[in-house]
Each structure stands twice: as C-alpha cells, then as structure tokens.
Structure 1
Amino acid sequence: MRLHREDVLAGALGLLDQEGLEGLTMRRLAASLGVGPSALYWHYRDKQALLEAIAEEIMSGVADVDAALPPRERTAELARRLRLALLARRDGARVLSGTYVRLPNTLRFGEVAVLALAATGVPEAETALAFFAVQDYVLGHVIEEQSREHQLATTDRTPTPDAATTGDYPAIGTAIRHWAERTPDDRFEYGLRLLLDGLDRRTGA
C-alpha cells in the first residue's frame, strides 16, 4: 500500500499521544507504519518538518472565534481555544513551543489575535509584544499542566509539598497549598485576567 503524507501525519499524531514527544522518533514512526525510515523522508525532510506539520494540525480551527465578540472577550476566547487545542494532544504545548510555523492555521491564529488586540486599543507598535505575551502565557501554563499530569500518572510523588517539607519557608508553602486548591481552569482564567486587565490599564480601556 502506498504511503501518503496524510498517513504519516496521522501516524505521528497517534504515536505522540501514545508515547509523548520523547517517544516520537522517525524510526518508531516508520515501524508503526510498517515502512522503512527512508519512506518518511519522502514526505517530511526531517523530524522538525514533521513537528511543524503536527503543530499546524493542532492549530486547525483555533482561530474560529465569533468576530462579533467584543475585542477583549475575543482575545480571551482565542487564548482559551489555544489552551484546549494544546491539551487535546499529549505534550501539545511542547510541540508548539519548539516550532516556528509559517503555515495557514498558525498564521491565521496570529492574524485574528493581533486584530483583536488592536481593537482593544493596543498601539500598533505593541501588538506583537501583547500577542506573544498572551500566547507565551498559554504555552507556559499548558506545559506546566501537562507536566504535572504526567508526573501524577507515572510516579508516586505529589507535585504539591506538605507543610513539613516547607516548614522553613511558610509563605511559599501556604501559597502552594492555596494554588493546589484551585482547578487548572481557575488558575488559567486568573492569569489570563491579569494579562488582560494589564492591557486595559495600558490602553485606558
């Protein structure tokens, strides 16, 4: 059976979900597809090109927000949609953060987000800084979410220290325990509000 580019991408996504980013190698992918590694390079010149294709697939539909939403809510919805898209794939945030994709889904997300930020009143010279501040917040938050989830699933070590462990550092110990009482959704929304409130103050909104 002839191997198509779409078959390679689908196989890579499946292997990513099963083994994680470290387990996604060209050799393992070729074996899972029943071909030699050289067959993959006919479609993707190297692993980086394959990761870019995965990132572009992750970004599919993320920019599809209601253009009638107020600019601030549009920006927030884009951030939420990006987070959910990254969470839908194992190590999704790590994949996206390691690529610099210049393909339609990714570029469209940036276009829609920059226009939303500009509509909130962010000066044109600062829209790039504002856009990447929001995007990097989402990426960092999801990397932490997925790392914590993986640690909880694969080890008996809890990421939240008990009071005895932080006895000499009571302030951070208390802060961590308050943090742990909130859901990932709550923590994400709090940080997103901080960013957007800061933008509001900067633009006088």
Structure 2
Amino acid sequence: MVSRIDRKRVVDTALRLLNEVGLDGLTLRGIAKELNVQAPALYWHFKNKQELLDEMATEMTRRMAGSLDGGPAAGPYGGTWQEMLLGSCRTMRRELLGYRDGGKVFSGTRMTDGAATGPLDFVMTCLTEAGFTLDAAVRAWWTAYNFTVGVVIEEQSVHPVPGQREIRDPAYDQSERERRIGAEYPLAAQAGREMFGDLEQGFEAGLRIIVAGIEATVGPDAAG
C-alpha cells in the first residue's frame, strides 16, 4: 500500500494548522482532515504526535538555518562575537515568533536530522576564532539560546497569535493584576509591567545582560 501523502506534506500542513489552532488544538485527526485522508494514513509517517512535533521542530530549524549560519538571509552581523551572538538570538526569536506556540514546539524536541549542526558549527567557529575555548563557547551559546527560547515561550503566552501584537491574552491585564495584588505586594505588582509590558525592549535588555555576563565570566577577555 502506497500512501497518498509524504512526510513533508504532513509537516507543512501541521505547521500551517498550528498557526490556526495552537499546540493544544493540533491533533493528528485534524491534520488528516486537512489533508483529506483518514487518520491512520499519518501513522505510515509518524507513530505518534511527539514524532510529528520532532519533525516540525526540525523543519522549523531547516527554514531558519540560512539565517543562523551566515547564509544569504543572515545579513551582516558585524565583526565581533558580541554582534554575532546578538544577531543570532534576534533571528531565532523572530523566526520562532512566526509560528503560534513556536517556542513550545521547538523546546524539548529532538532533531530528526542534522539541520541544526550547520548553524551550531557556525556559532562555535565564530566564538572560538574570537578567543573562546570550546567549552566556554558552548556555555555561552547554550545560555543565550535557552534565554531566547524561554523568552519566546513567555512572549507567546502574552501575544498568542503570530503577527498580531494587538491581541493580548486577558490574563496579562496589568491593571487588573495590580488592582488584585498591589496593596499587599506593591513591588511585585509594579514588576509585572516590566516583565510583560514592552516585550521587545525586555528581550533586548535581557540579551545584553547575557552578553555582558559572558564577557565578564567566560569571554576571551574575562578576568582570571
């Protein structure tokens, strides 16, 4: 028996449907309906939803790879390792925000091929050529990487629909939050505006803290 669909078509459909229904609403049955096939047909390609999510994350990586490894879409990051790290994290955030729940899909999944190795080697090469030991380069990238993915997950909780920043989850109504906890916990109430207000500014500020910490602790010019 030959399936009328292939893995790529299933994954492309799943990524498109993800933007409509989100991760919680994404089901193999829904994908099958979108493809006009019976759900069992998908099991020729994916044993379960986790296998599909792994392939979706890998396809997301393939799509962003050219931007992360200095390919044609990357643009000039500049000549320093700091600019490279800032540019790579900004690119990753932008790409993941293009998918509803993109941070959650990307986090904790396993690559099904070597799509991530080119970008990783590019970053390691830039850092080691700048004077990092390989161990320090790995720690630096892993810290910045996890910060970026974590911020995207939080950001997509506030603004769940890609490209529609005007849509904000009502749970993040800061005025209501301050009314509810402000009397007893005034500083925590005020902190919410910094954490969930201008998310672009918050990401940039946090990223620069990460880079400054790398400079001070494991960078080539770090003291002792």
- 1:200 maps to 215
Q: Using the TM superposition, give the Cα deviation of residue 178 of structure 1 relative to its aligned residue in structure 2, in angstroms.
A: 4.1
RMSD: 2.5
Q: CA deviation at 1:123?
A: 2.5
Q: 101-110 or 142-151, which moves further after superposition?
A: 101-110
- Residue 141 of structure 1, CA deviation: 0.2
Partner of 1:88: 98
Distance 1:62 1:105 in 2: 12
Which residues in structure 2 correspond to 1:17-36 (within 5 Å)? 17-36=19-38
> Does structure 2 conserve the Cα–Cα contact (< 8 Å) formed by 1:122 and 1:199?
no
Report the Cα offset of residue 184 of structure 1: 1.6
The yes-or-no answer on 1:117 pairing with 2:122 is: no
Does structure 1 conserve the Cα–Cα contact (< 8 Å) formed by 2:101 and 2:153? Answer: yes
Identify the match of residue 188 of structure 2 among 172, 186, 197: 172
How many residues in Structure 1 have an aligned counterpart in Structure 2? 204
SS at match of 1:3: coil
Tell me the TM-score normalised to structure 1 length. 0.87
Counterpart amino acid of residue 11 in structure 2? L
> In 2, are the aligned partners of 1:71 and 1:117 still within 8 Å (CA)?
yes
Residue 56 of structure 1 and its aligned partner are, at CA, apart by 1.7
Whichever residue aligns with residue 16 of structure 1, its letter is L
Partner of 2:73: none
Q: Could you tell me which amino acid in structure 1 is paired with residue 41 of structure 2? A: A
**AA partner of residue 25 (structure 1):** T
Please report how far the alpha carbon of residue 194 of structure 1 lies from its aligned counterpart in structure 2 after TM superposition.
0.3
1:53 corresponds to: 55
Moved >6 Å (runs of 4+) = none
Corresponding position of 1:191? 206
**How big is the shift at 1:26?**
1.2
- The residue type paired with residue 107 of structure 1 is T
> Once the 2 structures are TM-superposed, how far is the Cα of residue 84 of structure 1 from its aligned partner?
0.6
Contact between 1:51 and 1:99, CA under 8 Å: does it hold in 2? Answer: yes
Structure 2 distance, partners of 1:158, 1:124, is 41
Q: Distance in 2 between matches of 1:24 and 1:174?
A: 36
- Asked if the contact 1:26–1:47 (Cα under 8 Å) also holds between the matched residues in 2, the reply is yes
Contact preservation (8 Å) 2:194, 2:202 = no
Unaligned runs of 5+ in 1: none
Equivalent pairs: percent with the same residue? Answer: 30
* Cα distance in 2 for residues equivalent to 1:102 and 1:27: 22
Pair 1:53–1:180, CA change in 2 (3 A) = closer
Further displaced range: 34-43 or 107-116: 107-116
* TM-score calculated relative to the size of structure 2: 0.80
